[in-house]
Amino acid sequence: MPMLITPTRDNLNKIVVLNPKGGCGKSTIATNIAASYARQGSRTTIMDFDPQGSTMGWLDRRPSDLPVIHGIAAFKKTMHATRSWQLRIPDDTCNLIVDSPAGLNHDDLREVTRDAASILVPVLPSSMDIHAASRCIADLLLVAKIDRRDRKLAVVANRTRKNTKSFARLMRFLDSLGIPIIAVLRDSQNFVRSAEQGVGLVEMQPSRVRPDVEQLERIVSWLDGWAERRRNTTNVTGIRRQPSSRISILRKAQVSSA
């Protein structure tokens, strides 16, 4: 796989949707966030690092009368262009949404999350998925050195009913780390239709998608706090450390699901 270089620019709202587990809803969430921003008239690019190319496929199916979203097929190897030329984002792009592949090595994880304003981890409710997500979060904090105090990291519970044992376990784990679950998406054919038709939930018949759009709006409004979160980062000394009590929780998560 090519190196996961992502471009840097001041004031770029870079959102990374990440979880090495396939099928947890990364592309679903990435495309729906993109459609929401595009509908607001905010210039949006999605960058697809997954060789399965679901996000690029969604963009190909997108009806031409809907707001334009720029797509970059970052999973493709270039023959003729340099990597940075292939990955260049249009100058007028305000929001960059990065859809990531299954299974990232440590270097890729650091690279893909570099300069991210927000990182979303979608999690399915099964205990296997929750294990995988716990390890993913542990890697983000320990390997990619995401500082929890920057509040860049959030979980989206996908295809979930709130009142299950496994959901309660996930909540406890995230609580202990101070990572918020910003939305709970239900299992709904609306997401399947959105994928099939190349549209976002916000572009579908409102009466059909209301509860799903409400959750999506929660995600977008959390994302929109990025500039504020960045400003409030307490990083006076420049020294970044996870409190040691938390590290042991994380190491346990890394080991137990390895």
Q: Which residues bind Mg ion (CB under 5 A)?
A: 26-27, 50, 54
Q: What is the closest distance, in whole angstroms, from the C-beta atom of residue 10 to ligand ADP in the complex? A: 29
Query: Nearer Cβ to ligand ADP, position 192 or 255?
Result: 192
Q: What is the closest distance, in whole angstroms, from the C-beta atom of residue 172 to ligand ADP in the complex? A: 23
Task: Decide if residue 191 touches ligand ADP (CB under 6 A).
Answer: yes
Task: Decide if residue 35 touches ligand ADP (CB under 6 A).
Answer: no
Given the structure tokens 């904090």, which residue do they identify?
141
Query: Nearer Cβ to Mg ion, position 27 or 134?
Result: 27
Residue 25 binds which of Mg ion, ligand ADP, none (CB < 5-8 A, kind-dependent): ligand ADP
Interacting residue with ligand ADP among 14, 26, 43, 152 (CB under 6 A): 26
Given the structure tokens 């009466």, which residue do they identify?
207
Cβ-based burial of 184 (10 A; exposed 0-12, middle 13-18, buried ≥19): middle
- Kindly list the strands in the beta sheet with 118-123, ordered across the sheet, starting from the edge strand earlier in the chain: 70-72, 44-48, 95-99, 13-17, 118-123, 153-157, 181-184
Interacting residue with ligand ADP among 60, 115, 175, 187 (CB under 6 A): 187
Q: What ranges in the chain are assigned the alpha helix state H?
A: 26-39, 54-61, 83-86, 106-113, 127-142, 165-177, 189-197, 206-223, 226-231, 244-256
Dist CA 191 CA 194 (whole Å): 5
Task: Decide if residue 152 touches ligand ADP (CB under 6 A).
Answer: no
Interacting residue with ligand ADP among 117, 120, 130, 195 (CB under 6 A): 195
- Under 8 Å between Cβ of 150 and 233: yes
Query: Nearer Cβ to Mg ion, position 24 or 216?
Result: 24
Task: Decide if residue 166 touches ligand ADP (CB under 6 A).
Answer: no
Dist CA 213 CA 230 (whole Å): 26
Per CB under 6 A, residues contacting ligand ADP are 22-28, 54, 158-159, 185, 187-188, 191-192, 195
